[in-house]
Chain A
Amino acid sequence: KNEVEQSPQNLTAQEGEFITINCSYSVGISALHWLQQHPGGGIVSLFMLSSGKKKHGRLIATINIQEKHSSLHITASHPRDSAVYICAVRPYGGSQGNLIFGKGTKLSVKP
């Protein structure tokens, strides 16, 4: 069993739809990251959170430490949101760089 599981693996949505991507993990963590990998390969950090909720524009990330679960929401989705979204966790006791990555959720938003 992978320590970081994302669902769904693939997601196709129509422009304007509300999107949710889920991340579950099995280890105790001190932080969780959400990353976006563009079709060309470039990676952008979206959020780093250890509790509660963060919002940036149309993106919202939440985390429930007790349930070992995080969600990334995209409101009013747009074709430019098409990318692979990656969840990564920093286990307790690990260094800040020692992240365990999920396999990603490939999102395709159709116009």
Chain B
Amino acid sequence: GAGVSQSPSNKVTEKGKDVELRCDPISGHTALYWYRQSLGQGLEFLIYFQGNSAPDKSGLPSDRFSAERTGGSVSTLTIQRTQQEDSAVYLCASSFERGVWGNIQYFGAGTRLSVL
């Protein structure tokens, strides 16, 4: 597609349920990023994938959060046993890495997660 696509755009779930958020990056982009933005808070890094390298998971807030990227393209962020504090907008971005300094990131529209 022309841009980074995220689905669903909105997700309402009950506390304790598992959720999966999907990200389709721009075709050909080797790097993929997940961030989240809680209400009234700034953006927060979650996880970064680059090609076939081991992902940087240092931003994941707890072991309830996991993400994978299949075939170097689509990524899924999974949150198990959701808690109310997980409510936020989850943003995905992708970029075509160019050298050690990286490149501009292109953001998706985000998935707004509400945990009741």
Contact = CB atoms under 8 A, between A and B. Distances in A.
A100 B43 CA distance: 8
Interface stretch (B17-25, B44-52, B76-84): B44-52
Contacts of A42: 107, 109
Interface size class of A (residues with CB under 8 A): 20 to 34
Contacts, number: 62
Contacts of B44: 101
A31 B105 CA distance: 13
Interface in A1-54: 30-31, 33, 41-45, 47-48, 50
Nearest to B34: A97
Interface of A: 30-31, 33, 41-45, 47-48, 50, 86, 88, 90, 94-104
10 contacts: A43-B93, A45-B106, A48-B101, A48-B102, A90-B102, A94-B56, A96-B50, A97-B49, A98-B58, A101-B45
